């Protein structure tokens, strides 16, 4: 049972899904305080408006507390930071701080255009896996081209991760994986008949030094402050480099382009992605794109 002085035992006093949700949210890095005054047991949290939230163990200036007069996620987090609620929590940039620090679409494109075409296409490949879902924005992607890896390391949009042992093992066929497993003299290792994923997980966890014997490669993920621009940068690179085939006519055209009313030419949608392509001279549909191939 947790006790917050101004509210008594909590959350058992008013336990329920809403309170559990607030407790869980309070534990996340996105709820990290801007500052904590331990002597006076108060904290400052990034607000959704112009002013930050001023929080104590008795009150908070956020809308949730003002409406309910019950502990909000900021009060819960303050109590965790002060050791009153003995729950683990993650630290980092709050949601507001991350949003404020985000690299703009225009600056992201400028950074991408500093790279070679090969590096840009690798970033496009990374964005294929990361740009669609928010939870995947920092997903790690492996690069086996070491020359390309050296160039990618120079980009402010990218963070390098430790050697991706589990992913490299997953790329091996199961017969080759079993050869490695047979060479490991451990009684607690998985059976040869175990699922490939289970074998990979066990080897990666128990024989990390194996990374020194496997093909060299690098693992990269995007930095947090590139989150918001990812989807449009992916569209930019798709429109710049890729082609699609119209399923009905068989016409090949730049990816993302749509046909004019008569279907004879294709144009990119009028948006900031197309504006960026035009500005940099990469709008393949600027004067209308005539398909290079059609169904016979």
Q: What is the percent of the chain with per-residue pLDDT over 70, rounded to a whole number?
A: 92
What's the pLDDT at 100?
72
Per-residue model confidence as pLDDT tens digits over 40-87? 999 999 887 778 999 999 999 999 999 988 899 999 999 999 999 889
Q: What is the percent of the chain with per-residue pLDDT over 90, rounded to a whole number?
A: 67
Per-residue model confidence as pLDDT tens digits over 203-234? 999 999 988 888 899 999 999 889 999 999 99
Local structure of residue 289 (DSSP, 8 states): B
pLDDT band at residue 91 under the 50/70/90 scheme: confident
pLDDT averaged over every residue in the chain: 89
What's the pLDDT at 296?
47
Is the model more confident about 246 or about 96?
246
Q: How many residues does the chain have?
A: 296
Per-residue model confidence as pLDDT tens digits over 181-210? 999 999 999 999 999 999 999 999 999 998
Per-residue model confidence as pLDDT tens digits over 8-32? 665 555 556 788 889 999 998 889 9
Is the model more confident about 279 or about 17?
279
First to last CA, the chain: 74
Distances (CA, A) of 9 to 15, 18, 103: 10, 16, 43
């Amino acid at each position: 049972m947790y006790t917050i002085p101004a509210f008594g035992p909590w959350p058992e006093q008013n336990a329920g899904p809403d309170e559990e949700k607030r407790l869980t949210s309070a534990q996340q890095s996105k709820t990290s305080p801007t500052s904590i005054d331990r002597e006076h047991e108060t904290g400052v949290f990034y607000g959704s408006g112009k002013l930050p939230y001023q929080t104590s163990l008795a009150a908070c200036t956020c809308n949730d507390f003002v409406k309910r007069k019950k502990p909000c996620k900021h009060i819960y987090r303050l109590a965790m930071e002060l050791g009153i609620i003995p729950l683990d929590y993650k630290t980092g940039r709050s949601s507001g701080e991350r949003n404020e620090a985000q690299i703009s679409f225009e600056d992201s494109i400028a950074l991408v255009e500093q790279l070679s075409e090969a590096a840009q296409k690798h970033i496009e490949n990374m964005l294929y896996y990361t740009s669609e879902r928010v939870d995947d924005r920092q997903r790690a992607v492996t690069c086996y081209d070491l020359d390309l890896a050296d160039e990618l390391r120079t980009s402010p949009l990218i963070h390098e991760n430790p050697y991706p042992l589990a992913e490299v093992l997953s790329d091996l066929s199961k017969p080759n994986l079993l050869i490695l497993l047979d060479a490991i003299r451990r009684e607690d290792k998985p059976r040869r008949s175990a699922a490939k994923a289970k074998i990979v997980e066990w080897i990666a966890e128990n024989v990390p030094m194996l990374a020194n014997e496997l093909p060299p490669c690098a693992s990269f993920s995007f930095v947090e402050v590139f989150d918001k621009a990812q989807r449009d940068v992916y569209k930019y690179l798709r429109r710049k480099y890729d082609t699609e085939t119209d399923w009905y006519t068989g016409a090949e055209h730049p990816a993302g382009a749509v046909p004019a009313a008569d279907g004879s030419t294709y144009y990119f949608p009028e948006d900031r992605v197309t504006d960026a392509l035009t500005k940099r001279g990469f709008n393949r549909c600027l004067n209308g794109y005539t398909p290079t191939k059609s169904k016979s």
